[in-house]
Structure 1
Amino acid sequence: MATPTVLVLRSPGANCDEETAHAWRLAGAQAERVHVNRVLEAPELLDGYQALCVPGGFSYGDDIAAGRVLGNQLKLGLADALRRFRDAGKLVLGVCNGFQVLVNTGLLDLEDESGQLASLTWNNHGRYEARWVRLGVDPGRCVFLQGLDRLELPIAHAEGRIATRGGDALGRLVDDGRVVLRYRGAQTDAGDSVLPFPANPNGSVGNAAGLTDSSGRVLGLMPHPERFLFATQHPTWTRRRAEGGFDPHADGDGLRLFRNAVAYFG
């Protein structure tokens, strides 16, 4: 299997780049942390990588809005280079703040002739929220989610609510296979009916937690896969061990996304 190279984008305030690079390496990739200023100065740097990852954190302190400053930097300074990168069959992953950044770049194909179909805004309760969530997976074409049907991952955000502009926007995204992750309850998936808090921690329309582009090679999600790489990182792992059948050496759910991405280049 080829060893893909991954550019993990560093920026002021984006504080999850170390563990995100570690996740890629555990999955078998060669990951390098590169500051956004270096890429803006030399967009051709992107040519040397097979995947681009925009990690979580608080880029530029989330001034104006979460991910807005970094998103505008990429859109204004690297729009053509990023489109060439995606259209060359390469992968793009945005996690939490990175998802917020991707929404602002246009890489998620969320625009039509009338404007933007979906955006990210403040959680319904108006507060920062950190907790573990259950997710239903509808992978469709999404490279990162192939073979997965359910996940448990942590979230940590204040502006993670996916909102659509109304009308048939949500239906269009669903019909196109773009809503690939949804918050779910303990027992069932609620579909488009918004689950109550805390199952849906932010009030996202249709319980959406992650969106892909039309190619399936770009994924933005609010939960943090890099924070669940090992089975023993789950908050109930000791209880599961006591109940029997628990493998402490098993992969965490999040690592499976990164392994899928590496396998894509195999």
Structure 2
Amino acid sequence: MKFAVLVFPGSNCDIDCYKAVEETTGEPVDYVWHTATDLSEYDCILVPGGFSYGDYLRCGAIARFAPVMAEVAKAAEQGKYVLGICNGFQILTEAGLLPGALRRNTSMKFICQDSKLQVVNHTTPFTSEYAAGEEITIPIAHGEGNYYCDEATLERLKANNQIVFRYSHNPNGSTDDIAGICNERGNVVGMMPHPERAVSSILGSEDGKRMFTSILTAWRDQYGAATVG
């Protein structure tokens, strides 16, 4: 399996994502610059956190027009795995790969702290190694992490089991305590908390590790019989 970690001007969690993949899966991983026009060699694409293009205009609003995003959309359509974290989640919503939008925290302050999450959907390729309803600790670090969608969209998210994580204690005002969602197919996930910062006890939590190993397990289940061993 091969991972890509996208890098935009202003990304600052790309190295964290790269190291998390290395340490949790041992699989090949590359940094891929935002001008790339071919992602065909990659099985999973990580859209990391940070401040792409300085968060000018609106978080993710410029990054969604980067050349690489057309390739991300193509990969998602092909069923490849796409994970957007924090600013990456914002980019995926701006690009229309996930519904809703991220707004300013209701406190109007940047929040950086550990956060308790409930695993709502443990059947995605990203969450299969968690238990349904399990509470995990994943840090957050955002000023615009307040997930918003209208009532009709929220009802669709619920009906299609697209809510992947909820905050146990809502830190930012997100609709229905939503911390992460997926597309209807389940191969694209966006979340504000940072699992790549929770892959070792020295970081305070290892609860993010299973997101990366879940992806590897899902890939092996789908393709591994022909390529592994």
- With the length of structure 1 as denominator, give the TM-score of the two structures: 0.77
Asked if the contact 1:47/1:85 (under 8 Å) is kept, the reply is yes
Aligned to 2:139: 154
**Structure 1 residues without counterparts, runs of 5 or longer:** 111-117, 185-198, 235-250
Structure 1 residue 89, shift from structure 2 partner: 2.3
Among candidates 132, 136, 142, match of residue 124 of structure 2: 142
- Code of the residue aligned with 1:65 in structure 2: it is R
Displacement of 1:141 after TM fit? 3.9
Displacement, 1:168?
Answer: 2.9
Equivalent residue number for residue 122 of structure 1: 104
1:140, distance to aligned residue in structure 2 (A): 5.0
Q: Which runs of 5+ in 2 are unaligned?
A: 221-229
Following the alignment from structure 2 to structure 1, what is the Cα–Cα distance between the partners of residues 16 and 147? 25
Aligned counterparts of 1:16 and 1:85: Cα–Cα separation in 2:
22
Q: Secondary structure at the match of 1:252?
A: coil
- Alignment of 1:265 onto 2:193: no
Residue 97 of structure 1: CA displacement? 0.5
Aligned AA (1:203): G
Where does residue 170 of structure 1 map in the other structure?
154
Please say if 1:222 is aligned against 2:207. Answer: no
Is 1:53 equivalent to 2:46 in the alignment? yes
- Determine the structure 1 residue equivalent to 2:225: none
Question: CA contact under 8 A between 1:141 and 1:215: conserved in structure 2?
Answer: no
* 1:237 aligned residue: none
Write the mapping of 1:51-200 to structure 2, written as runs, cut at 5 A: 51-73=44-66, 78-79=69-70, 81-108=71-98, 110=99, 118-139=100-121, 141-148=123-130, 149-165=134-150, 167-184=151-168, 199-200=169-170
Whole-angstrom CA distance in 2 between matches of 1:9 and 1:143? 20
Question: Which amino acid is 1:172 matched to?
Answer: R
Is 2:10 the partner of 1:20?
A: no
**Aligned to 2:115, what secondary structure does the other structure show?**
strand
Separation of aligned partners in 1, 2:77 and 2:66:
20
Paired letter, 1:67? G
The separation in 1 between residues aligned to 2:10 and 2:73, in whole angstroms, is 25
Q: Counterpart amino acid of 1:121?
A: R
Are the aligned partners of 1:92 and 1:219 in contact in 2 as well (CA < 8 Å)?
yes
Superposition deviation, residue 35 in structure 1: 1.0
- Does structure 2 retain, via aligned residues, the 8 Å contact 1:142–1:218? no
Partners of 2:74 and 2:154 lie apart in 1 by: 28
Seq. identity, %:
34
Deviation at 1:78, TM superposition (A): 4.2
Q: How many residues align?
A: 216
Q: Are residues 1:8 and 2:44 paired?
A: no
Aligned-partner Cα distance in 1 for 2:188–2:13? 19
Pair 1:83–1:141, CA change in 2 (3 A): farther
Name the SS of the counterpart of 1:33 in structure 2: strand
Separation of aligned partners in 2, 1:49 and 1:169: 31
1:105 deviation in Å?
1.3
Distance in 1 separating the partners of 2:156 and 2:8: 33
Indicate if the aligned counterparts of 2:122 and 2:129 stay in contact, CA closer than 8 A.
no
Deviation at 1:26, TM superposition (A): 1.5
In structure 2, what is the equivalent of residue 202 of structure 1? 172
Q: What is the TM-score when the length of structure 2 is the normalising length? A: 0.89
* Cα offset, 1:51, TM superposition: 0.8
Which residue identity is paired with 1:142? T
The Cα shift of 1:127 comes to 1.0
Deviation at 1:87, TM superposition (A): 2.5
Change (3 A) 1:221 1:103: same
Superposed structure 1 runs of 4+ greater than 3 Å apart:
none
